[in-house]
Amino acid sequence: MSKQPQPISPLKNFFAGGFGGICLVFTGHPLDTIKVRLQTQPKPKPGESLLYTGTIDCFKKTLAKEIQATTGEVKYAGPMDCVKQLYRQAGIRGIYKGTALTLMRDVPASGMYFTSYEWLKNLLTPAGKSHNELSVPSVLFAGGMAGIFNWAVAIPPDVLKSRFQTAPEGKYPNGFRDVLRELIREEGVGSLYKGFNAVMLRAFPANAACFLGFELAMKFLNWIAPNL
């Protein structure tokens, strides 16, 4: 007889999801920094060259800049100092700057993320087997590809969000519409895919680690607390 499916535990999902998020950040954060720098680099003036010519160039220059920053002046002493300064400058609106654009990115992208993951899990699960018995390579592949599908949808609004959040106060009074118009007018439609290489280099390993972390944490929690 086949095993009865284990009832869903919100608490286990919360902790397993949190562990998956930790795995994602540790795996993908360096390339996320590169992505934002590529997305927000200014358009060069006539006769000037781009600040970053690509992902590798951005990585090298970012590393060199961070090494120099250890002996120079730092704008924010840490996350809480950043929050305090933003609040002092623009109030609660400063802390939540770019919320609408974040929702425009995350709602469709997250839908694609979990839909593609579940679809791939179904596709990769052998007949007569449970999703819980999926092999590690299959989980890594499904998670990594889910990350690719997620970011294929998310990149354009993510570029707009990064530009809007790092712009001086008042530069874009009409929000994302002004950012979109400026980008397309000055840099063309291709500018909506700035940082594409860095995003895709990050997407597969980071999200493969995320879902593997989630699945392993869930198995561990089911083992130590089967009735939770």
Region 102-122: mean pLDDT is 94
> Could you tell me which of 223, 155, 220, 166 has the C-alpha nearest to residue 194?
155
CATH class given for the domain over 10-40+99-224:
mainly alpha
Taking the CA atoms of 155, 158, 160 and 166 in sequence, report the sign of the dihedral they define: negative
CB-neighbour burial class of residue 85 (10 A; exposed 0-12, middle 13-18, buried 19+): middle
Confidence check: pLDDT of 19 > 50: yes
Taking the CA atoms of 84, 89, 90 and 91 in sequence, report the sign of the dihedral they define: positive
pTM given for the model: 0.79
Confidence check: pLDDT of 122 > 60: yes
- pLDDT > 90 in the chain, percent: 41
What pLDDT band is residue 73 in, cutting at 50, 70 and 90?
A: low
Say what the pLDDT of residue 52 is: 87
How confident is the model over 173-226, as pLDDT tens digits? 888 899 999 999 988 898 899 889 899 999 999 999 999 999 999 999 988 988
